[in-house]
């Protein structure tokens, strides 16, 4: 199944298009490392068990805040390529509503061409990171329902 960038939120579509420009897997890795370098530092107090991504061989943490109905993530990893995946997801998902995030499926990674370059453990890590981000979005959505 081919994923079109019009079915994705604008920031995520831009990221997919950037990766699609590179046919060489090495260039895609370089793009991923570029995202890792651009990732804002995550405060140490966010690196607690409930923010840890389970099922990753590297240490990965994701936090989420809800401001004015939009989610803002922060994250970090001790592995540069995984940190690039974290940064890609954060840049692609930040500023979306919980419902928009919950509507996304992880197939957009196929459109980037990265999945063919990722080791099985890194690909699994990507899905675990994405799933934790969706879980945090679901928690916000459920809490909004309680508050309204």
For helices 10-20 and 80-93, angle between their N-to-C axes, nearest 10 degrees? 140
H helices of 2-119, in order, are 10-20, 25-38, 80-93, 98-103, 108-112
Per-residue pLDDT tens over the stretch 45-100: 999 999 999 988 899 999 999 999 999 999 999 999 999 999 999 999 999 999 99
Element (H, E) at 70: strand 70-77
Q: How far apart are CA 62 and CA 52, in angstroms?
A: 7
pLDDT at residue number 3: 44
pLDDT digits (tens, 9 = 90+) for 94-133: 999 999 999 999 999 989 988 877 888 888 899 999 999 9
Helix (H) or strand (E) holding 63: strand 60-67
Q: Is the pLDDT of residue 2 over 60?
A: no
Smallest CA-to-CA distance from 77 within 118, 49, 39, 131 is with: 39
Give catalytic status of residue 147 as yes or no. Answer: no
Has this prediction a pTM greater than 0.85?
yes
Q: Where exactly are the structural domains of the chain?
A: 5-140
Q: Which of 32, 36, 56, 132 is catalytic?
A: 56
The answer regarding whether domain 5-140 maps to CATH 3.90.1010.10 reads: yes
């Amino acid at each position: 199944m081919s994923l079109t960038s019009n079915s994705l939120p604008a920031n995520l579509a831009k990221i997919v298009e950037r990766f699609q420009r590179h046919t060489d897997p090495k260039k895609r890795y370089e793009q991923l490392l570029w995202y890792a370098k651009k990732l804002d530092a995550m405060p140490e107090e966010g690196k607690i068990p409930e923010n840890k991504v389970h099922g990753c061989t590297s240490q990965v943490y994701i936090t989420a805040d809800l401001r004015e109905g939009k989610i803002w993530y922060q994250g970090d990893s001790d592995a540069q390529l995984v940190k690039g995946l974290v940064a890609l997801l954060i840049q692609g998902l930040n500023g979306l509503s919980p419902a928009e995030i919950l509507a996304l499926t992880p197939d957009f990674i196929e459109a980037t061409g990265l999945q063919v370059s990722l080791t099985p453990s890194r690909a699994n890590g990507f899905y675990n990171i994405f799933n934790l981000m969706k879980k945090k979005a679901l928690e916000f959505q459920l809490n909004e329902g309680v508050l309204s």
